[in-house]
Protein backbone atom coordinates (compact mmCIF):
# COMPACT_ATOMS: atom_id res chain seq x y z
CA UNK A 1 0.00 0.00 0.00
CA UNK A 2 1.27 3.43 -0.92
CA UNK A 3 2.37 5.84 1.78
CA UNK A 4 -0.55 7.85 3.20
CA UNK A 5 -3.11 5.45 1.70
CA UNK A 6 -5.46 3.68 4.10
CA UNK A 7 -8.11 0.99 3.69
CA UNK A 8 -11.28 1.41 5.72
CA UNK A 9 -12.88 -2.00 6.30
CA UNK A 10 -16.52 -1.79 7.30
CA UNK A 11 -18.51 -4.77 8.55
CA UNK A 12 -22.17 -5.46 7.80
CA UNK A 13 -24.42 -2.67 9.06
CA UNK A 14 -21.59 -0.18 9.72
CA UNK A 15 -22.35 3.43 8.80
CA UNK A 16 -20.27 4.58 5.80
CA UNK A 17 -20.13 8.29 6.67
CA UNK A 18 -19.28 7.64 10.34
CA UNK A 19 -16.54 5.23 9.29
CA UNK A 20 -14.99 7.83 6.98
CA UNK A 21 -15.15 10.47 9.71
CA UNK A 22 -13.52 8.07 12.18
CA UNK A 23 -10.60 7.18 9.90
CA UNK A 24 -10.09 10.87 9.08
CA UNK A 25 -9.73 11.67 12.79
CA UNK A 26 -7.60 8.61 13.61
CA UNK A 27 -5.18 9.19 10.73
CA UNK A 28 -5.28 12.99 11.08
CA UNK A 29 -6.52 13.51 7.54
CA UNK A 30 -7.02 17.25 7.07
CA UNK A 31 -7.35 16.82 3.31
CA UNK A 32 -7.79 13.59 1.43
CA UNK A 33 -9.57 11.70 -1.30
CA UNK A 34 -11.68 8.57 -1.44
CA UNK A 35 -10.04 6.83 -4.37
CA UNK A 36 -11.73 3.44 -4.54
CA UNK A 37 -13.91 0.86 -2.95
CA UNK A 38 -15.25 -2.67 -3.18
CA UNK A 39 -18.42 -4.18 -1.79
CA UNK A 40 -22.10 -3.40 -1.35
CA UNK A 41 -24.20 -0.80 0.44
CA UNK A 42 -27.72 -0.87 1.86
CA UNK A 43 -30.06 1.42 3.80
CA UNK A 44 -28.79 4.35 1.77
CA UNK A 45 -29.88 7.67 0.32
CA UNK A 46 -28.30 9.38 -2.69
CA UNK A 47 -29.14 12.71 -4.30
CA UNK A 48 -28.49 13.67 -7.91
CA UNK A 49 -29.56 16.10 -10.61
CA UNK A 50 -32.83 15.23 -12.28
CA UNK A 51 -33.58 15.46 -15.98
CA UNK A 52 -35.77 18.53 -15.49
CA UNK A 53 -33.15 20.66 -13.68
CA UNK A 54 -34.25 19.61 -10.22
CA UNK A 55 -32.85 17.30 -7.58
CA UNK A 56 -33.75 13.62 -7.28
CA UNK A 57 -33.48 11.59 -4.11
CA UNK A 58 -33.19 7.81 -4.24
CA UNK A 59 -33.47 5.68 -1.10
CA UNK A 60 -33.28 1.92 -0.70
CA UNK A 61 -33.14 -0.59 2.13
CA UNK A 62 -31.92 -3.37 -0.20
CA UNK A 63 -28.29 -3.91 -1.15
CA UNK A 64 -26.65 -2.42 -4.22
CA UNK A 65 -23.22 -3.22 -5.64
CA UNK A 66 -20.69 -0.39 -5.41
CA UNK A 67 -19.48 0.09 -9.00
CA UNK A 68 -17.46 3.27 -8.41
CA UNK A 69 -16.77 5.68 -5.56
CA UNK A 70 -14.92 8.96 -5.23
CA UNK A 71 -14.95 11.78 -2.78
CA UNK A 72 -13.16 14.27 -0.61
CA UNK A 73 -12.37 14.64 3.07
CA UNK A 74 -11.62 18.18 4.17
CA UNK A 75 -11.09 19.82 7.53
CA UNK A 76 -11.94 23.52 7.62
CA UNK A 77 -11.95 26.04 10.42
CA UNK A 78 -15.60 27.05 10.11
CA UNK A 79 -17.46 23.77 9.81
CA UNK A 80 -14.97 21.17 10.98
CA UNK A 81 -14.76 17.91 9.05
CA UNK A 82 -16.56 17.76 5.70
CA UNK A 83 -16.92 14.42 3.91
CA UNK A 84 -18.34 14.32 0.37
CA UNK A 85 -18.92 10.94 -1.29
CA UNK A 86 -20.06 10.27 -4.86
CA UNK A 87 -21.13 6.77 -5.88
CA UNK A 88 -22.21 4.72 -8.85
CA UNK A 89 -24.20 1.70 -7.72
CA UNK A 90 -26.26 -1.00 -9.39
CA UNK A 91 -28.71 -3.71 -8.41
CA UNK A 92 -29.42 -7.09 -9.94
CA UNK A 93 -31.38 -5.37 -12.72
CA UNK A 94 -28.16 -3.65 -13.89
CA UNK A 95 -29.78 -0.24 -13.63
CA UNK A 96 -27.07 2.12 -12.41
CA UNK A 97 -27.76 4.93 -9.96
CA UNK A 98 -25.35 7.83 -9.63
CA UNK A 99 -25.23 10.58 -7.02
CA UNK A 100 -23.93 11.97 -3.78
CA UNK A 101 -24.22 9.60 -0.84
CA UNK A 102 -26.13 11.22 2.01
CA UNK A 103 -26.24 8.13 4.22
CA UNK A 104 -25.59 4.43 3.85
CA UNK A 105 -24.50 1.24 5.55
CA UNK A 106 -22.16 -1.54 4.53
CA UNK A 107 -23.86 -4.69 3.29
CA UNK A 108 -21.51 -7.52 4.14
CA UNK A 109 -17.89 -6.42 3.97
CA UNK A 110 -17.20 -3.02 2.39
CA UNK A 111 -13.70 -1.67 1.82
CA UNK A 112 -12.93 1.95 0.97
CA UNK A 113 -9.51 3.30 0.01
CA UNK A 114 -8.61 6.75 1.36
CA UNK A 115 -5.57 8.78 0.28
CA UNK A 116 -4.21 11.40 2.70
CA UNK A 117 -2.77 14.50 1.02
CA UNK A 118 0.16 16.30 2.64
CA UNK A 119 -0.86 19.95 2.28
CA UNK A 120 2.73 21.06 2.78
CA UNK A 121 3.70 19.29 -0.43
CA UNK A 122 0.77 20.63 -2.50
CA UNK A 123 1.53 23.03 -5.33
CA UNK A 124 -1.15 25.64 -5.85
CA UNK A 125 -1.10 27.17 -9.30
How many independent structural domains does the chain possess? 1
User: Which range has the worst mean pLDDT, 6-10, 38-42, 55-59?
Assistant: 55-59
- The pLDDT tens digits of the residues spanning 57-87 come to 999 999 999 999 999 999 888 778 999 999 9
Look at residue 84 and tell me if it is in a domain. Answer: yes
Look at residue 41 and tell me if it is in a domain. Answer: yes
Look at residue 57 and tell me if it is in a domain. Answer: yes
Angstrom distances, CA of residue 120 to CA of 16, 39, 113: 28, 33, 22
Look at residue 124 and tell me if it is in a domain. Answer: no
Look at residue 62 and tell me if it is in a domain. Answer: yes
Q: Is residue 125 predicted with pLDDT exceeding 70?
A: no
Mean pLDDT of the chain: 91
Q: What is the pLDDT of residue 53?
A: 76
Look at residue 123 and tell me if it is in a domain. Answer: no
Structural domain that includes position 63: 5-116
**Phi and psi at residue 38, to the nearest 5°:** -150, 130
Look at residue 37 and tell me if it is in a domain. Answer: yes
Distance CA 71, CA 36 (A): 9
Amino acid sequence: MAENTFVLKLSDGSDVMSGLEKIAKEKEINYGFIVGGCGKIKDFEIVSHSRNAGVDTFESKTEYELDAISGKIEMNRKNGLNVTVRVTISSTGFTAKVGQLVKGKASGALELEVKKVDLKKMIIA
